[in-house]
């Protein structure tokens, strides 16, 4: 099979491509340049050079494409706009949705390949006449949470060669044995273009009033965009004699309200931009949802009309991804309103 292997210059994508070569596939290495200069931790000029060396070692064709304009518009600007409007963005989700599994997948088809392979830790396999996405075997490395926007139609065109890896040490061992220059590369950052976090990347502070549940000013914060719903730490040293959490933030007045945990927890969550890989309302099974990366799955009581009713109250910030599972299978997800 002719497969385009996305090479980032990191060890995961390198070994994913190496595994495909060893399986006898016709592999083409493709590097996506997403940022200008060396400011980000991946997908820049420097890592592109490493990706080329990987392709040379594997003796496969190599090409590079510049998606920096798309990345800035659809990932960076989108994240900053969400942040300024009081939402909690997830840039990795947007990068997978728009750049990797839309634009890069279209590039794959233009190159005449049958599939796109990446170094993501997840699984896709055929079950009778349909394709399913599942969590990776490694619970620690699993990245299925970031992949929920992948369209149902594209599952047949995507390959995740590292889905069966249970320990990252296995990947580094395979890279070393294969003579790949990425065997000792550091772990990639969760946020490649802003390794110190979005608020520091934003590069500003905008102090405002910190309020209690009665609307009384009890302190100051550094900007509504520096906190998220449910946050307990980093609230400017407010001492109320009990634990307090961010229960509300208003980007228009730049105020942040704190209170008890019960003040913001709820059972019903509404979703927008929903993407279902199968219809959850037709499943008479116990579903669960993850509301943050590596977070605990929470039991679901019912799903209908893009509303999830959980068994117990929980905290979800507007803008967060909510990903629904049946066991290890990814059913789909959406953005919390």
pLDDT tens figures, 50-59: 999 999 999 9
Does residue 171 share a domain with residue 119? yes
Does residue 137 share a domain with residue 16? yes
Answer whether residue 269 shows pLDDT above 70. Answer: yes
Helix (H, G, I), strand (E, B) or coil at 143: coil
Neighbouring residues of 92: CB distance < 8 A, sequence distance ≥ 6: 146, 190, 191
Count CA within 13 A, CB hemisphere, residue 213: 10
CATH of the domain at 112: 3.40.50.620
42 is catalytic: no
Residue 188 lies in a domain: no
CA 163/CA 141 separation, integer angstroms = 10
Residue 281 has what pLDDT? 80
Residue 77 lies in a domain: yes
CATH of the domain at 326: 2.40.30.10
pLDDT band at 74 (very low <50, low <70, confident <90, very high): very high
Residue 89 lies in a domain: yes
Taking the model in full, what pTM does it have? 0.92
Mean pLDDT of the 28-52 span: 85
Residue 54 has what pLDDT? 98
Distance of CA 109 to the CA centre of its chain: 24
Residue 66 lies in a domain: yes
Range of the domain at 247: 204-263
Does residue 225 share a domain with residue 120? no
Residue 296 lies in a domain: yes
Does residue 116 share a domain with residue 230? no
Answer whether residue 262 shows pLDDT above 90. Answer: no
pLDDT band at 312 (very low <50, low <70, confident <90, very high): very high
Could you give the percent of the chain with pLDDT greater than 90?
Answer: 76
Does residue 224 share a domain with residue 148? no
pLDDT per residue as tens digits for the range 128-142: 889 999 999 999 999
160, 177, 194 - which closes a domain: 177
**Roughly what angle, to the nearest 10 degrees, separates helices 11-22 and 168-177?**
60
Helix (H, G, I), strand (E, B) or coil at 276: strand
pLDDT band at 283 (very low <50, low <70, confident <90, very high): confident
Does residue 156 share a domain with residue 10? yes
Does residue 232 share a domain with residue 327? no
Residue 255 lies in a domain: yes
Does residue 72 share a domain with residue 18? yes
Residue 244 has what pLDDT? 87
Does residue 149 share a domain with residue 7? yes
95 is catalytic: yes
pLDDT per residue as tens digits for the range 166-223: 999 999 999 999 999 999 998 876 678 877 777 777 778 889 999 999 999 999 998 9
C-alpha radius of gyration, the chain, whole number: 21
Residue 123 has what pLDDT? 98
Residue 190 lies in a domain: no
User: How many distinct structural domains can be found in the chain?
Assistant: 3
Residue 264 has what pLDDT? 82
CB 6 within 8 A of CB 118: yes
Residue 325 lies in a domain: yes
Given 42, 43, 92, 192, which residue is catalytic? 192
Buried b (16+ CB within 10 A) or exposed e, 203-242: eeeeebbbbbeeeeebbebbbbbbbbbbbeeebeeeeeee
Does residue 150 share a domain with residue 44? yes
Does residue 252 share a domain with residue 118? no
CATH of the domain at 220: 2.30.30.280
Does residue 217 share a domain with residue 164? no
């Amino acid at each position: 099979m002719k497969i385009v292997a996305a090479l980032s210059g990191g060890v995961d994508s390198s070994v994913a491509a190496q595994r495909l070569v060893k399986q006898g596939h016709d592999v083409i290495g493709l590097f996506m340049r997403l940022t200008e200069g060396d400011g980000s931790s991946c997908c820049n000029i420097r890592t592109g050079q490493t990706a080329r060396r990987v392709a040379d070692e594997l003796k496969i064709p190599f090409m590079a494409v510049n998606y920096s304009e798309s990345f800035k518009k659809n990932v960076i600007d989108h994240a900053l706009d969400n942040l300024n409007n009081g939402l909690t963005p997830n840039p990795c989700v947007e990068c997978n949705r728009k750049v990797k599994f839309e634009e890069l997948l279209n590039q794959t088809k233009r190159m005449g390949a049958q599939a796109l392979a990446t170094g993501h830790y997840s699984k896709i396999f055929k079950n009778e006449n349909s394709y399913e996405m599942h969590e990776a075997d490694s619970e620690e490395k699993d990245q299925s949470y970031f992949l929920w926007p992948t369209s149902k139609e594209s599952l047949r065109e995507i390959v995740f060669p590292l889905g069966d890896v249970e320990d990252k040490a296995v990947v580094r061992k395979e890279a070393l044995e294969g003579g790949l220059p990425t065997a000792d590369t550091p772990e990639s950052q969760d946020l490649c273009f802003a390794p110190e976090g979005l608020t520091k990347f934003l590069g500003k502070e905008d102090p405002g009033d910190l309020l209690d549940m009665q609307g009384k000013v009890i302190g100051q914060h550094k900007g509504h965009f520096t906190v998220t719903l449910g946050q307990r730490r980093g609230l400017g040293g407010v001492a109320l004699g009990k634990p307090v959490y961010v229960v509300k933030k208003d980007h228009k007045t730049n105020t942040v309200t704190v209170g008890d945990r019960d003040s913001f927890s709820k059972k019903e969550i509404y979703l927008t931009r929903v993407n279902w890989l199968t219809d959850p309302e037709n499943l008479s099974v116990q579903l669960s949802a993850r509301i943050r990366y590596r977070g605990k799955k929470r039991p679901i009581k019912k799903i209908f009309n893009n509303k999830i009713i959980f068994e117990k109250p929980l905290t979800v910030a507007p803008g967060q991804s909510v990903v629904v599972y049946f066991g290890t299978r990814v059913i789909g997800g959406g953005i919390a309103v």
